Structure 1
Amino acid sequence: MKISHYYCITSLLLLILFCFSEGWCADPTYGFTAVPLTEWNFELQKPYDVPLEERYSYENGVRKLWVYADDKPHDPNSLTQPRTEVRIRGLDYSSGVWQFEGYAFVPNGTSGVTVSQIHGAAQDATTLILRIYNGDMRYYSADLIATGMYDRWFRLNVIHDVDGGKVTVFIDGVQKFQVKDKGPGDLYFKCGVYAAPRNISYYMESRWRDIKIYKK
C-alpha cells in the first residue's frame, strides 16, 4: 500500500514537471497586467468602397470579419491586399513586454490569409504575421506553428518582449513558436483577415471574442 502511494505521488510530480517543461500548465498571462479596453480601442479597417456592415459584424461578443479576394484595399491610395481587420488603437508600444490574447475561429476554406499580426518593426513593415494555409498556422508563409485550426475556437496568445527582442506564440495555452523580432518601432496588434500576396481563397473569414491586451 505504501509503495503504491509513493508511486502515485512520484508519477504525479513527474507529470507536473513534464507539463511545465512543455508549457502546458503555465498560463501565458501570469505576471502580466490587463490593460483596460473600450470599443474606441477597436479600430476597423475594411475595403474603402463598401459599408462596414458588409464586411464586419459584432454580435453576442463575437466579432466576425470577412473579405473577398477581389475587394479593394482599405484606402484608395493603398496598393496593399484587401483586408478587414481590427487594429488595436491607442496602445502603440516601442519597448517593454506586451501581450495580445483572443479566442479565434477560422472556417474551413479560408486560406492564404493573415489572421493576426504585430504591425511595425525597425527592419520591416511587420514584426509578426500569423497566416492560415489550408488549416495550418504559419509564421508568414514559412515556419509551421500549428495544424488543425479550422472550425474550432482556439485561444491565441502572442507575447512581444521588445527589450529582449523575441516574440512567443501560444495556442490554447501551449507555447508553439518563438522567433527573434525585427527590432523596435511603432508597434501595435491587429487581427482579422488580410489577404496574403498569393495563394489566397476567394472568401476569407475569421471570428474573434474576448480580445485582451496585457503588459508587464
Structure 2
Amino acid sequence: MRLDWCLNDCKKIVFVSLFLQLWLSMMRICSAHDPTDGFTLVPLTAQDFRNDKPYNEPLKNRYSYKDGVRRFWVYNNDKPFKPSSTTRPRSEVRIKGHDYTSGVWQFEGNFYVPSGTTGACIMQVFGAASHATTLQLRVYDGNLRVYRNQVVASNIYDKWFKLNVIHDVGNSRVTIFINNVQKVVVGGRGPSTFYFKYGVYAQDGSSNYMESRWRGNRVFRR
C-alpha cells in the first residue's frame, strides 16, 4: 500500500509540474504582443539616415550596409565625430527629418552585439531638458542596460533581439520592449526636441573594439 501511495504522489507531482510549465508558457505568450499596434508607420527614405563616424576616417572604415544589415564599429582610441567635439568615438545613424517635441513616437529595430563589446551605447533617444539624452541603451558585459542602471536584457552577445522603444512625450515616459515583451519603463527628462540614434558609441569602461549590427529599423507615431 505504501508503494501505491508513493506512486500516486509521484504522478500528482509530475502532473502539477507539467501544468505549471504549460501555464507559464501561456502567460509568456499572452504577455507578448506587437508594440506597434495602434501606431502609424512613418515612411523613411535613404536621406533620413545620417551617419556619424570618426571625422578622420572614411565611412567605409567604420560602417557597412549589406543585405539589409547595418554594421557599425569603432575603436576606443578613435577620434570624435568632428574635430571640435570632446565626445567619445562613435559610428551611428541619426534618423533625421522626423524630430519631434510632442506626441508618442516609437523606434523599432533588431540588433546584434558580438561578444567582447562593452561600455558602448547602441541606441539613444536624443534630447532632454537638462541632459543630452532622454534614453541611452548601453551594453556592459553582455547585459543591455538603461545607462548603467536597470537591466533590459541579459546575455545578449551573439544573438539577434527585437527592440521597441516607445517615447510618450506628454506623459514623460519611455517604455522598452525586447522581443515584443515589455521590460522596463523609465521617466522622461523634460521637454526638448527629440530624435532617434542607433549604432555604437563609446561610454565609460569601453572595450578596445565595439560593434553592433541592426536590421529592420522603423519609426512609428501615434
Deviations 1:101-153 (A, max 9, x none): 00111000000000001000112110000000111011101221110111011
- Work out whether 1:210 is the aligned partner of 2:216: yes
- Work out whether 1:183 is the aligned partner of 2:190: yes
Out of 105, 112, 117, the position equivalent to 2:119 is 112
Out of 96, 102, 107, the position equivalent to 2:109 is 102
Q: Provide the rounded CA distance (Å) in 2 between the counterparts of 1:192 and 1:19.
A: 30
What letter matches 1:204 in structure 2?
Answer: M
Runs of 4+ in 1 over 2 A off after TM superposition: 14-21
Q: Provide the rounded CA distance (Å) in 2 between the counterparts of 1:137 and 1:181.
A: 19
Q: Provide the rounded CA distance (Å) in 1 between the counterparts of 2:206 and 2:29.
A: 37
CA RMSD of aligned residues (A): 1.6
1:16 Cα shift? Answer: 9.4
Q: Provide the rounded CA distance (Å) in 2 between the counterparts of 1:142 and 1:32.
A: 29
Identity of aligned residues (%): 53
In the other structure, the counterpart of 1:8 is none
Q: Any stretches of 5+ residues in structure 1 without a counterpart?
A: 1-10
- Work out whether 1:201 is the aligned partner of 2:201: no
Q: How high is the TM-score relative to the length of structure 1?
A: 0.89
In the other structure, the counterpart of 2:152 is 145
1:214 Cα shift? Answer: 0.2
In the other structure, the counterpart of 1:171 is 178
In the other structure, the counterpart of 1:44 is 51
Out of 81, 96, 104, the position equivalent to 2:88 is 81
Q: Provide the rounded CA distance (Å) in 1 between the counterparts of 2:150 and 2:215.
A: 26
What letter matches 1:194 in structure 2?
Answer: Y
1:44-63 equivalences under 5 Å are 44-63=51-70
Q: Any stretches of 5+ residues in structure 2 without a counterpart?
A: 1-19
1:17 Cα shift? Answer: 8.1
Out of 125, 133, 137, the position equivalent to 1:130 is 137
1:49 Cα shift? Answer: 0.3
- Work out whether 1:67 is the aligned partner of 2:74: yes
Q: Provide the rounded CA distance (Å) in 2 between the counterparts of 1:89 and 1:79.
A: 22
Q: Provide the rounded CA distance (Å) in 1 between the counterparts of 2:139 and 2:208.
A: 14
In the other structure, the counterpart of 2:167 is 160
> Would the alpha carbon gap of residues 142 and 37 (structure 1) be closer, same or farther in structure 2, given more than 3 Å must change?
same
Number of residue equivalences: 201
